[in-house]
C-alpha cells in the first residue's frame, strides 16, 4: 500500500435517541447557529428534538440552506453569525446543510472576500467549531473536512477542504431517515456506492484491508438499498445504509490506495449544465466510464466482479462486462435511470459538457490521469 495520513476527529453518536446528546457535545455557554434547509425537519420531528436539546443555549435559527448550497445564502448566515457573536454552528439536515455549515464556520472568521476560500488554496486558517445532526445519509460530509458551495450567478460549483471544519460531532439517528422521499433514499445509496467505487476501482497496490472494507460497504449498499425502498420502515436497513454512507467518505478506505473521481468530475458538469441530481449524474457516467477504462482497471474490475457480485464463471472479459451490467442494474433497481436520454440530454449537448470540463482543467482525470477529453467524449456517447 502507499504511504498515507489518516485523521478523523469527528465523534460519531449513532442510534435512536442520540439527538438528545447534542447538548452534551456543545461547549457550555455557546451561542449557537441552528442551521437547516427546508421544512422537512419540521415534518419528521427533528426540529423539535433539536430545539429541545438546545434549551440551555442561546441559539439563532437560520433556515433555507438549499440543495447545492449557494454562496449568497451562506453569506447571509455568515452575517448573522458575525452580528450575533455566534460561536458554534449546528447543521441539521443532509450533506448540503453540513457543507454549508462548514463554509459558514470558515467564512465567519475569514478576513477578506470569503469566496477566496473556494478559489485559492489553503485559505482556512481558523474556523468556528461545528457539529451536525444528519438526516440524509449520502455525502459523508458529516465526518470529513470537505465542502462544496455553488455561486449561481457565475455557474461555479467549487469545493474546499480543511481539517479545521471536520464536525466536532455527528449525530446519526437512523430514525430521522424514515420519512425521506424515495428519491432521496435512492440518491443517497447511489452516491455512497459511487464514493466507494471511486476509491476502490483503480489499480491494485496490495492493500487487502482497504479492498475488503470497500467491498463490505458495496455489498451492504447493494443488499440494503433496495430493502430501504421495499420496506421503508425497517430501521435496521436504515442503520446499515447510514453507517455505510459515513464510512464511504471519511478518509478510511482511501488511506494508502489510489483514487479515481473521474465519474464525479464529469457528473458535476451534468449537474451544473442540466440540473440532474448529483447521484443521477454518477449513475449515468459510471457504467460507460468503467467500460471505457476496462483495460486500465482490468485487475480491480475482475476483483470487483468476483468479490462484490460473486461472478465466478466465464472468461475475464465476460465477468467484467457482467459486473458493469450488474452495476447499472443496481442503479435502475434503486429507481435511477442511467441514460442521458432519460433526462433529455442528447448528442448535441456533449460538446458543451466537454467545453466545461476543459474550462475547469479536467482534461486528465482518473487515478492515472488517463481519462482525457477524447475518452470522456466516448464515455458520454456511450451514456446516451
Radius of gyration of the chain (CA): 21
In angstroms, rounded to a whole number, what is the distance separating the alpha carbons of residues 219 and 167? 28
For residue 11, state whether it binds a copy of itself (rule: CB under 8 A). yes
To a copy of itself, the closest distance from the beta carbon of 351 in angstroms equals: 42
To a copy of itself, the closest distance from the beta carbon of 240 in angstroms equals: 6
Between 170 and 380, whose beta carbon lies closer to a copy of itself? 170
For residue 2, state whether it binds a copy of itself (rule: CB under 8 A). yes
For residue 7, state whether it binds a copy of itself (rule: CB under 8 A). yes
Candidates 2-10, 52-60, 150-158, 329-337; binding stretch for a copy of itself (CB under 8 A): 2-10
Between 73 and 244, whose beta carbon lies closer to a copy of itself? 244
Closest CA to 285 of 264, 260, 313: 264
CB of 38 within 8 A of CB of 63?
yes
In angstroms, rounded to a whole number, what is the distance separating the alpha carbons of residues 313 and 60? 60
For residue 141, state whether it binds a copy of itself (rule: CB under 8 A). no
For residue 138, state whether it binds a copy of itself (rule: CB under 8 A). no
Structure-block grid coordinates of residue 110:
475569514
To a copy of itself, the closest distance from the beta carbon of 217 in angstroms equals: 6
To a copy of itself, the closest distance from the beta carbon of 210 in angstroms equals: 8
For residue 226, state whether it binds a copy of itself (rule: CB under 8 A). no
Secondary structure element (H or E) that encloses residue 146, with its range:
strand 146-151
Handedness of CA 347, 351, 356, 361 (dihedral sign): positive
For residue 291, state whether it binds a copy of itself (rule: CB under 8 A). no
CB of 263 within 8 A of CB of 357?
no
To a copy of itself, the closest distance from the beta carbon of 52 in angstroms equals: 19
User: Which of 83, 208, 230, 348 is in the footprint of a copy of itself by CB under 8 A?
Assistant: 208
For residue 28, state whether it binds a copy of itself (rule: CB under 8 A). no
Residues linked to residue 36 through DSSP beta bridges, in sequence order: 92
In angstroms, rounded to a whole number, what is the distance separating the alpha carbons of residues 174 and 378? 40
Closest CA to 66 of 77, 51, 80, 53: 77
Contact string 237-276 vs a copy of itself (x = CB under 8 A): --xx--xx--x----x--xx--------------------
User: Which of 209, 299, 317, 381 is in the footprint of a copy of itself by CB under 8 A?
Assistant: 209
To a copy of itself, the closest distance from the beta carbon of 1 in angstroms equals: 5
| 280: CB partners within 8 A, 6+ apart | 187, 190, 336, 337, 343
To a copy of itself, the closest distance from the beta carbon of 125 in angstroms equals: 16
For residue 223, state whether it binds a copy of itself (rule: CB under 8 A). yes
To a copy of itself, the closest distance from the beta carbon of 28 in angstroms equals: 16
- The gap from C-alpha 94 to its chain's centroid, in whole angstroms, comes to 10
Closest CA to 365 of 349, 379, 344: 379
The three-class DSSP label of residue 152 is helix
For residue 213, state whether it binds a copy of itself (rule: CB under 8 A). yes
To a copy of itself, the closest distance from the beta carbon of 199 in angstroms equals: 15
What is the residue-wise DSSP string for 205-243?
-S-HHHHHHHHHHHHHHHHHHHHHHH-TT-HHHHHHHHH
Between 13 and 97, whose beta carbon lies closer to a copy of itself? 13
For residue 165, state whether it binds a copy of itself (rule: CB under 8 A). no
Structure-block grid coordinates of residue 122:
489553503
**CB hemisphere CA count around 83 (13 angstroms):** 7
Residues in contact with a copy of itself by CB under 8 A are 1-18, 206-209, 211-213, 215-217, 219-220, 223-224, 236, 239-240, 243-244, 247, 252, 255-256
Amino acid at each position: 500500500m502507499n504511504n498515507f495520513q489518516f485523521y478523523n476527529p469527528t465523534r460519531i453518536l449513532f442510534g435512536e435517541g442520540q439527538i438528545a446528546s447534542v447538548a452534551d457535545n456543545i461547549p457550555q455557554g455557546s451561542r449557537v447557529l441552528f442551521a437547516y434547509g427546508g421544512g422537512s425537519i419540521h415534518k419528521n420531528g427533528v426540529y423539535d428534538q433539536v430545539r429541545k436539546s438546545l434549551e440551555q443555549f442561546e441559539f439563532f435559527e437560520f433556515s433555507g440552506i438549499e440543495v447545492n448550497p449557494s454562496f449568497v445564502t451562506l453569506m447571509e448566515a455568515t452575517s448573522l453569525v458575525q452580528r450575533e457573536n455566534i460561536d458554534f454552528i449546528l447543521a441539521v439536515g443532509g450533506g448540503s446543510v453540513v457543507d454549508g455549515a462548514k463554509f459558514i464556520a470558515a467564512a465567519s472568521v475569514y478576513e477578506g472576500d470569503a469566496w477566496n476560500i473556494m478559489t485559492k488554496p489553503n485559505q482556512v486558517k481558523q474556523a468556528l467549531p461545528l457539529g451536525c445532526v444528519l438526516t440524509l445519509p449520502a455525502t459523508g460530509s458529516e465526518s470529513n473536512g470537505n465542502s462544496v458551495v455553488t455561486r449561481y450567478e457565475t455557474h461555479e460549483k467549487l469545493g474546499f477542504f480543511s481539517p479545521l471544519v471536520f464536525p466536532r460531532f455527528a449525530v446519526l439517528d437512523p430514525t430521522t431517515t424514515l420519512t425521506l422521499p424515495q428519491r432521496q433514499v435512492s440518491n443517497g445509496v447511489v452516491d455512497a456506492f459511487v464514493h466507494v467505487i471511486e476509491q476502490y476501482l483503480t489499480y491494485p497496490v496490495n492493500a487487502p484491508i482497504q479492498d475488503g472494507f470497500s467491498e463490505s460497504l458495496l455489498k451492504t449498499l447493494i443488499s440494503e438499498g433496495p430493502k430501504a425502498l421495499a420496506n421503508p420502515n425497517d430501521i435496521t436497513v436504515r442503520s446499515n445504509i447510514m453507517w455505510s454512507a459515513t464510512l464511504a467518505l471519511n478518509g478510511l478506505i482511501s488511506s494508502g490506495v489510489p483514487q479515481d473521481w473521474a465519474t464525479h468530475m464529469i457528473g458535476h458538469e451534468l449537474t451544473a449544465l442540466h440540473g440532474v441530481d448529483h447521484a443521477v449524474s454518477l449513475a449515468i457516467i459510471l457504467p460507460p466510464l468503467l467500460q471505457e477504462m476496462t483495460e486500465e482497471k482490468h485487475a480491480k474490475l475482475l476483483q470487483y466482479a468476483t468479490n462484490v457480485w460473486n461472478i465466478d464463471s466465464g472468461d475475464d472479459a465476460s465477468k467484467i462486462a457482467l459486473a458493469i451490467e450488474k452495476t447499472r442494474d443496481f442503479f435502475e433497481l434503486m429507481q435511477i435511470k442511467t441514460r442521458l436520454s432519460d433526462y433529455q440530454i442528447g448528442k448535441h449537448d456533449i460538446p458543451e459538457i466537454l467545453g466545461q470540463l476543459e474550462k475547469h482543467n479536467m482534461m486528465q482525470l482518473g487515478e492515472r490521469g488517463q481519462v482525457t477529453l477524447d475518452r470522456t467524449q466516448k464515455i458520454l456517447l456511450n451514456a446516451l
